[in-house]
Amino acid sequence: MNLKTIAYWAATAVLAFVMLSGGVVDVTRAPAAAESVYELGYPPMFLTILGTWKILGGFALLVPRLPRLKEWAYAGAFFDFSGAAVSHLAHGSPALSVITTVLLCVVTLVSWATRPSGRVLGTITLPALLRRGEPAQVRVNEA
């Protein structure tokens, strides 16, 4: 295995674990998670909605194929963690809460950026015309 593959699986394992376990904690409204979300000013139903999507996203990252679904899962994870970071920052939460959610954004980006070609939605190819300085169309190859 090369470094890119190791980085992908390490980041994806952490990301999937955080999403699946966090989703279960949210859906079951565990006291610690509920208290944190309520303290930030979000309604109780937010836990159920967010938890359900986290669980589905965690599974989407682990199942083979389905590159479009994986793209949505990565986007959802990034929105979740970046939104949590901003919420903690705006609320004045302890620095550890902000740092943790920012690090989870980084883990999400590492997993996304190092994913194997079979898990990529499409690639952008530049035709030879572009190299000659002529206007060209960008073609997207669907996986």
Q: What is the pLDDT of residues 37-89, one digit of tens each?
A: 999 999 989 999 999 999 999 999 999 888 899 999 999 999 999 999 999 99
What is the DSSP code (8-state) at residue 123? E
DSSP assignment of 66-84 equals -HHHHHHHHHHHHHHHHHH
CA distance readout (Å), 117 to 44, 67, 84, 141 = 39, 10, 30, 12
Identify the pLDDT of residue 65: 84
Identify the pLDDT of residue 78: 98
Q: Over 60: is that where the pLDDT of 134 sits?
A: no
Share of the chain above pLDDT 70, in %: 83
Binned at pLDDT 50, 70 and 90, residue 1 comes out as confident
Identify the pLDDT of residue 131: 58
Q: What is the pTM of this model?
A: 0.81
Q: What is the C-alpha to C-alpha distance for residues 48 and 90, in angstroms, rounded to an integer?
A: 23
| Mean pLDDT (the chain, rounded) | 88
Q: Over 70: is that where the pLDDT of 138 sits?
A: no
Identify the pLDDT of residue 53: 97
Identify the pLDDT of residue 94: 94
Identify the pLDDT of residue 126: 53
